[in-house]
Structure 1
């Protein structure tokens, strides 16, 4: 038995088994209660929003598996949104009519902004030995401030129609492009987690960093890699939001996306102690949370009460993990 399997808490198996059942029960119940729930427009809305959350949650999950936290993902979503929109507007002025180049430059700038924030987070955690919670709390505030400074709180427009109407609101085989992007990211992350040394080392670092050092694992480099991935994934979600809405906004993401990404990871079986988690279950958890949020909206539940449900589910997931850990026989 591998070291990872040996330390897998009993709560993880329980949550993996309960999550599909909970999602199925939710879908069946809402189909009976609200005919709008299974309408094509609502289903597409759920899938699109679940895709955004999945991309962010996958980055968050890989950081938590390595024993860290990334509180800056919501701010990165917003920063990437405004950077993408601003750069596209600038590129349109110097490359009029060349939509492909304008879009490519804008997307590269947006992803680059997320990469920079991720690298700063990772280097501070690995080199300065500062808690990931504290570092990302600081970068969350700084990143959000930069986004507001760039826009002065005003939405940024001027992006090519091919980016907004063709990509952001376009579909293939009846599904939004965001769904296919999220699936592609998920498949890549499944491969990385299961078939690459990086994926195995991330689990080892989160599970037992001292043993990882003795085994010759470069902890610093891999920790930086996890935060960089998280930053790029959050930026990618911000770009998708921008394409859908048609404007760059510093209000995207925020605390809500940060909380939801952590919730998706925790409910999806990622241990807050590190070393345990499967990205495909995190994606399923993101779909469950998005469906739940949609159901609460259709049931006209007060928006101020909806975070209460999210909090209760997170507490229950952590409690299940802790109970499973306590009941696990010691060897």
Structure 2
């Protein structure tokens, strides 16, 4: 049983607020200001778009968080999304009407997830076993995965997907897109693993001090391979949801997602030094990032200028993280 359940209700509320941080307040401020400046922000379609986009980023950012906790990072998530989208769409288009729509969709989903998992296992093996730096490994696999995706499509979207699959991305339940429910499941499951399982404890220990973790007999190699596999698998899941929404497989899917997922994680308190990170905070960080993007879209800020703003913002967040880490080590 958690310690919070034994505390005074006020202390419990304070503990919860402390674990979330100031991001919710920042989100409320941005939402109020944006609603005042641009009434279109409160339109039902816009809010649904924000929720859907935030949910997809949450899924990818949670996987990125697991890698960051282990003292790594994954630059290949965007390319993995493109590869998973193309592989799944190609599989479904090739099967055509030879099977039932449900079976075609299932095989396409499994193919896309399998492609993502394969890249993640390669990343994990190279980092954990071959001891290659995460930057070089994931940069290389990003280039390879993105290249394969573009090679398979020749830059042309792949259509001919079953309606049953497209319904997963465009359908809704109780007014919310399927991506929102998928993100909720991913975040809840990750929170449970972090708080209630030995795997979660081991991951923090490995990220905090890998050498001490090895000496203590913790399964460092398996954990490191596992987090990269999870990161790529979650990126592939997000890609499938987005592919279903768009109705086509695209080799350009996921552009900029590596930067966005790292930004969402770091702004939510995940340390680039490893050993620190909470899934529910990352979910809030992803929502904050999407609100920021949405604000710039509604204010008609050029896309090129948006990339500059987001880049400067992430540099600021990383600098704060470095300053915080320096203060703790002093």
Query: What TM-score results when the alignment is normalised by the length of structure 1?
Result: 0.92
Q: CA deviation at 1:109?
A: 0.5
1:102 aligns to 2:104 (yes or no): yes
1:43 is matched with which residue? Answer: 47
Partner residue in 2 for 1:299: 299
User: In the alignment, is residue 57 of structure 1 matched against residue 61 of structure 2?
Assistant: yes
Please say if 1:195 is aligned against 2:196: yes
User: What SS does structure 2 have at the residue aligned with 1:68?
Assistant: coil
Deviation string, structure 1 residues 285-326 (Cα, Å, up to 9, x no partner): 000000110110000011111122222222222233333344
Question: 1:324 aligns to what?
Answer: 324
Cα displacement (A) at 1:75: 0.2
Aligned residues: 314
Query: Aligned with 1:27: secondary structure?
Result: helix
| Deviation (angstroms), 1:66 | 0.4
| Pairwise CA distance, 1:121 | 0.3
- Measured in 2, the distance between the counterparts of 1:327 and 1:133 equals 25
The aligned residue for residue 243 of structure 1 is 244
Q: Distance in 1 between matches of 2:119 and 2:319?
A: 32
CA distance in 2, matches of 1:168, 1:222: 32
| C-alpha RMSD of matched pairs (Å) | 1.6
Contact 1:189 1:279 in 2 (8 A): yes
Structure 1: gaps spanning 5 or more residues = 1-12
Aligned partner of residue 286 in structure 2, secondary structure: helix
Deviation per residue, 1:197-256 (Å, 9 max, x gap): 2211111111001111121111111100000000100000110111000000001002x1
Q: Does 1:186 align with 2:187?
A: yes
Pick from 158, 162, 167: which aligns with 1:160?
162
Q: CA separation in 2, counterparts of 1:316 and 1:150?
A: 38
Q: Give 5+ residue unaligned stretches, structure 2.
A: 1-16
**Alignment of 1:314 onto 2:314:** yes
TM-score by length of 2: 0.92
Aligned to 1:94, the other structure's residue is in SS state coil
Paired position in structure 1 for 2:213: 212
1:65 Cα deviation (Å)? Answer: 0.5
Alpha-carbon distance in structure 1 between the residues aligned to 2:316 and 2:283: 19
- CA contact under 8 A between 1:15 and 1:267: conserved in structure 2? no
Q: Distance in 2 between matches of 1:192 and 1:119?
A: 20
For 2:18 and 2:96, how far apart are their aligned partners in 1?
52
Q: Which residue of the partner structure matches residue 7 of structure 1?
A: none
Higher RCO by CA contacts (8 Å cutoff, separation 6 or greater) = 1
Tell me, yes or no, if structure 1 residue 263 matches structure 2 residue 263. yes
CA distance in 2, matches of 1:222, 1:232: 15
- Alpha-carbon distance in 1 for matches of 2:206, 2:252: 34
Q: CA deviation at 1:163?
A: 1.3
Distance in 2, Cα, partners of 1:142 & 1:329: 38
Map Cα deviations across residues 129-183 of structure 1 (whole Å, 9 max, x no partner). 000111000000000011011111111011111211x221111001111101110
SS class of match (2:252): coil
Distance in structure 2 (CA, Å) of the matches to 1:257 and 1:329 = 31
Distance 1:329 1:204 in 2: 17
> Does residue 113 of the first structure (1) align with residue 130 of the second (2)?
no
The runs of at least 4 consecutive aligned structure 1 residues that moved more than 6 Å come to: none
Q: Confirm or deny: 8 A CA contact 1:91 1:105 kept in the other structure.
A: no
User: SS at the partner of 2:96?
Assistant: helix
